Amino acid sequence: MGDDLERKAVRQTRAGDRQLRLLVSLIMMLAAGACVARPAMVEVVAFESRSYGFVDQLLAGKPGEPQQAEAVLVLPEDGNFKAPYPALVLLHTSNGQGSQDWLYAQRLREEGVAVLAIDSFSPRDVDHTVRDQTLVSTASMLADAYAGLRFLLRDPRIDPRLVGVIGFSKGGIAALYAGYESIREKLAMAEARFALHIAYYPWCGLRLRRPVTTGAPILIQSGALDDLVPPERCAELAAATRGPEGPSNMTLVVHPGARHAFDHPLLELFGKVDITAPSPAFCELEQQEDGGFVETRSGREIDAVNLAAVLAGCSRSGHAGGNEAAAEQAYRNTLAFLGAAGFLKRR
């Protein structure tokens, strides 16, 4: 009996060691963010944005706190493409700017699309928001996205008719909700709007009282096995959303066998990784007639002060994992979506 217990303990210890090594390796890669290097010959730029505690402040027309935004502008090579270029504002995940941003910037540059990769964390003295999503709010990332749009519209090298936004996870939330007219009208100058929106595995639990889009096409891509931000919430959101003249221009693609962050280059070797940090999987924040928000499951009113506490009550841990087939299909979908909107110019 004693020998059996000892062997069992050894097996458990070895298993624990393997899990620990895997976790440490993953954390080191994510922290380094260096698996995919930043493209060469880029421009580091800065422009004015705003910071908000919660989206209710933005929708109420409050100005927010002045904030300088920082970004990297990646332009196509002159030898292959001619200005003015189509462009995408790119918004990063809760881990901050890193490999995923540079991978997409490089791939899109090769297709003739300029990329303005915004860093929403460093100027706000935040490294990541994995364990506390309120450190940088979605409203602040929305402000950064529209500040990026204003910046690009002033650049003669960019085609002002062809500026879209793409985001991943936390950045995907902002890329998605930037497509709602009630948000656009608070953040955009005059009638400026994004030509399209691409959101990879966003949380879709924010329900606006006026769920009407700007009319620009919106593509959401999620994993069928995503238990951090379930695609069911996005299906419900798409069903409730309308365009300015009726039917929504929102498309949801759910990839079989794919988990959260299925396309991240640092997860391509990991089919399933435990994520212990809470994610608002079951949170649904519904805007009321007075403009405030209520978390529907708990019935609690929510604002910038109690946002973290309320979200904790409807959040849970889950999993992430790479899926090469889903990643490639999602990128093909992205290119097809860009092509249909006239973003892909012939060489």
- C-alpha torsion sign, points 97, 116, 241, 335: negative
65-120, pLDDT tens digit by residue? Answer: 999 999 999 999 877 899 999 999 999 999 999 999 999 999 999 999 999 999 99
Stretch 2-31: mean pLDDT, rounded? 42
Assess whether pLDDT exceeds 90 at residue 193.
Answer: yes
C-alpha distance from residue 100 to each of 59, 166, 195 (Å): 30, 12, 23
Asked if 284 contacts 205 with a C-beta cutoff of 8 angstroms, the reply is yes
- Supply the pLDDT for residue 346: 62
Assess whether pLDDT exceeds 50 at residue 252.
Answer: yes
> Nearest Cα to 295, choosing from 52, 56, 51, 53?
56
Please tell me the pTM assigned to this model: 0.89
- Supply the pLDDT for residue 347: 56
291-321, pLDDT tens digit by residue? Answer: 999 999 999 999 999 999 999 999 989 999 9
Domains belonging to the chain, first-starting first, are: 35-269+322-340 (3.40.50.1820)
- Supply the pLDDT for residue 269: 84
Assess whether pLDDT exceeds 60 at residue 33.
Answer: no
d(CA 105, CA 156): 20
If you average pLDDT over every residue of the chain, what do you get? 89
